[in-house]
Structures are given as C-alpha cells and as structure tokens.
Copies of this chain bind each other. A is one copy, B any other.
Amino acid sequence: MLPDVSDPRKPNPARRSERSRRAVLGAARELVSEVGYAKVSIEAIAARAGVGKQTIYRWWPSKGAVIFDSFLELSEGEGEEGIRLPDTGDLGADLKAVMRATVAEFADPAFEAPIRALNLEIIADPALADAYREKLAGPVDEAKKERLRSAQRAGQLAADADLDLVLEVLYAPLYQRWLHRAGPLTPQYADALVATVLRAFAP
C-alpha cells in the first residue's frame, strides 16, 4: 500500500487532542460574542484557549473555518436526527408558529453578533457556504420540506409546488430584512409572509 499520496505533511487526526479542539472552539465562540467577528484574531483564540497557534493552523484552514466549526459544535447533538416541525394538521398555523419563533430569534440582540459573523463567513467563502448548507441548513430545510410534503398530502399546498422555492419565498425576505437591517422584524411580518406563501402556492 502506498503512503497517503496527497502528502502535504498532513497531520494524523487519530492523535489529535480533543482537549485542544474543544478549548479552541470554546474560545472562538466567546471571542465572537465579546468583540465581534471582525476583531477576532487567531492569535487571541490561541491565547484564550491556552493553545499554540500552530495547533490551530494544523487543524483549520482559516479563521472563518474555526469560527464556523464553533457554530457547528453548538448545533450538534441538538436533536440528533430529531429535527421535526410541529404538524397539527393546520399548515397556516404551524408555519406562523415557526416563523414567529424565527423572527423572535433574529430579533434577540444576544444572537445578533454571532449569527451575523456566521453569515459574513458564508458569504465570503464558498467552501464554508457548502459546509453550511450541508451541515447546518440542510437538515433543518429537510425537516421543513417534510412538513410541507405533509401539507401537500393534506391538500393544503399545491402538489406540484417547488418546495425549495416555497422555502425561499418564506425565509429569504425575512433573512434579507435582517441582514440589511431594512426594517423591523415583527410577528405581523411573519404572518404576512406565511399568508403570501399560502396564497402563492395554494392548491
């Protein structure tokens, strides 16, 4: 057997220190909350984590990747497969509940800084965008689509509706408002989006 040909001095993950990994991700999370994404430096993460800079460079390709991983870490184990939206049989009511919760989450100033940081990374770095879609957004979107399929079966949504499009029409306006700080995020706004989608994709 040939030795790993994609050689470039790859470290051996088997010997990786779990202790250091967690310390780095924890420090990254703290620092993003404290000083904001732009002002976080690898130097500071290493110092806070009590870790050599090299240890960070060895295992992550960029500052963005570290911080992204620190978000991943948070969301993991959250439900383990178990992400599932409420299904009372009334699509409108269920969507309103979910959208109002989303609006509330975005409006929480405590989440402002880290979520914005996460989005800046994703926008700037295609690789992170892929990882985001696969690891974070993907499972959630799948759960949402599952609820929509249930609605289709119940005759509350056009059977031929493009579910990706439905989700985009539902979430993108909210996302854009928040991203651009273009207006207030209120429960009424959430309701309006749900109403719009129900009308656009009625059977």
List residues of A whose CB falls within 8 A of some B CB.
37-38, 116, 119-120, 122-124, 126, 129-130, 132-133, 162, 164-165, 168-169, 171-173, 175-177, 179-183, 192-193, 196-197, 199-202
Given contacts A120-B123, A200-B199, contact A173 B180 (CB under 8 A): no
Are B173 and A165 in contact (CB-based, < 8 A)? yes
Are A181 and B129 in contact (CB-based, < 8 A)? yes
Are A183 and B164 in contact (CB-based, < 8 A)? yes
Residue of B at shortest CB range from A181?
B129
Given contacts A123-B120, A199-B200, A200-B196, contact A168 B179 (CB under 8 A): no
CB distance from A72 to the nearest CB of B (A): 16
Copies in the complex: 4
Residue of B at shortest CB range from A122?
B180
In the bound complex, how far is the Cα of B119 from the Cα of A176, in angstroms?
Answer: 11
Given contacts A120-B120, A162-B192, contact A132 B180 (CB under 8 A): yes
In the bound complex, how far is the Cα of B169 from the Cα of A135, in angstroms?
Answer: 26
CB distance from A141 to the nearest CB of B (A): 10
CB distance from A158 to the nearest CB of B (A): 10
Name the B residues within 8 Å of A130 (CB-CB): 181
A-B CB proximity, top 4 nearest:
A200-B200, A172-B172, A168-B173, A172-B176
Q: Which of B129, B164, B197 contacts A180 (CB 8 A)?
A: B129
Are B116 and A123 in contact (CB-based, < 8 A)? yes
In the bound complex, how far is the Cα of B162 from the Cα of A57, in angstroms?
Answer: 50
In the bound complex, how far is the Cα of B132 from the Cα of A122, in angstroms?
Answer: 21
In the bound complex, how far is the Cα of B125 from the Cα of A180, in angstroms?
Answer: 9
Name the B residues within 8 Å of A133 (CB-CB): 180, 182
Are B168 and A177 in contact (CB-based, < 8 A)? yes
CB distance from A161 to the nearest CB of B (A): 10
CB distance from A112 to the nearest CB of B (A): 11
Q: Which of B123, B165, B199, B200 contacts A123 (CB 8 A)?
A: B123
